[in-house]
Amino acid sequence: MVRVKRGVNAHKKREKLLKHAKGFHWGRKSKERLAREALLHAWSYSFAGRKQKKRDYRAMWQSQINAGTRTHNISYSKFIAALKKKNIELDRKILASLAADHPDTFAKVVEMVK
């Protein structure tokens, strides 16, 4: 059987790993073992973070809509319930941008559901 020397492949693998660990502190950016462990944690946190971001944005949109509806003397929950009852299919992202950037248009939407 032919002898296989793995120097080139092993070096490529380590370099790729260290490239992902760029910007980490202390030895985690330059030592392979520390970098591998740090990346395992970082990648799992980034997966969870992508899910968390969706929750955070939805909560932000809800508070923006609530602030907009309170100026028209209606609560957020009653506004959303009225939207569903009237079959108006605007999502929270659009409603929040209307409340923040186009208050006159948002006022028309609120009047439609009252």
Query: From CA 44, how far away is CA 48, in angstroms rounded?
Result: 6
Angle at which helix 32-70 crosses helix 7-20, to 10 degrees, equals: 30
pLDDT digit string, tens, across residues 53-99: 999 999 999 999 999 999 999 999 999 999 999 999 999 999 999 99
In the structure, what pLDDT confidence band is assigned to residue 30 with cuts at 50, 70 and 90?
Answer: very high
Residue 20 has a pLDDT of 97
pTM over 0.85: no
Q: Which amino acid is at 102?
A: H
CB 49 within 8 A of CB 59: no
pLDDT at 72 (0 to 100) = 96
Q: What are 78's two structure tokens? A: 């009653």
As a whole number, the mean pLDDT across the chain is 96
Domain residue limits, the chain: 9-113
- Report CA-CA distances (Å) from 52 to 63, 91, 107: 17, 19, 31
The third-level CATH classification (topology) of the domain covering 9-113 is c-terminal domain of poly(a) binding protein (1.10.1900)
Residues 6+ apart with CB under 8 A from 20: 35, 39
Do 24 and 38 touch, CB atoms closer than 8 A? yes
